[in-house]
Amino acid sequence: MKNFKLLICVVLAALAFASCSDTETYADKKKKERSAINRYIANQKINVISESQFEQQGCTTDTAKNQYVLFENTGVYMQIRSKGTGKKLKDGDDVDVTCRFNEYNLLEGDSALQLTNIYQYAWCTDKMNVKNTSGTFNGKFTDKQFSMMYTTYGSAAVPSGWLVPFTYINLGRYDSADAELAKVKLIVPHSQGQSAAAQGVYPCLYEITYERCL
């Protein structure tokens, strides 16, 4: 009987250990996220540049060299495809901006399109209000019915990663033959992303255009 009880205790201890071993910690999830980002950078042959180099280049990224600038304080990578015509948001500006975007879950692979209002649901324009307060940008989605981000993730808050480009891009409209919209690509870690990414600890790749509303 004693031997049987001892055997039961050993089995229960082994099961408990296995259960603990199978539990993925936050640190484990962050490692997976980091690996997914590194894998994407390697697969796409991205040339990561520092903020100082970015500033020396006039706050631009050379798309011919596939450059992305890494913002160390947030972990966001940005490639400016087009700075756009128009004007930067000045301190105190409060404007409405329309966004078109593709969202890819990099934990699922380089081409795992997760959400879009370009290829599908083109009627969803994802309008957001953006405010510049002493160089700090805050944003909220303003139309729950026609916002893919709002309806999908249940939050009016614009992901912090989406606001990073506003320091460097111009906001305008297609109002002349040579007009261009600001367009960027972003690699956004979970800490700067939408609510599902924050909870699931996964990074997203975004392709976004920004257009000032009338």
Query: What digits encode the pLDDT tens for the residues 143-185?
Result: 888 899 999 999 999 999 999 999 999 999 988 888 999 999 9
Per the structure, how many domains does the chain have?
Answer: 1
Instruction: Tell me, yes or no, whether 176 lies in a domain.
Output: yes
- Which CATH number is 145's domain given? 3.10.50.40
DSSP 205: E
Instruction: Tell me, yes or no, whether 126 lies in a domain.
Output: yes
Q: What band does 122 get if pLDDT is binned at 50, 70 and 90?
A: low
Pairing of strands 94-105, 204-212: antiparallel
Residue 195 domain boundaries: 26-212
DSSP 144: S
Instruction: Tell me, yes or no, whether 87 lies in a domain.
Output: yes
pTM over 0.85: yes
Instruction: Tell me, yes or no, whether 171 lies in a domain.
Output: yes
DSSP 91: T
Instruction: Tell me, yes or no, whether 131 lies in a domain.
Output: yes
CA distance 104 to 119: 13
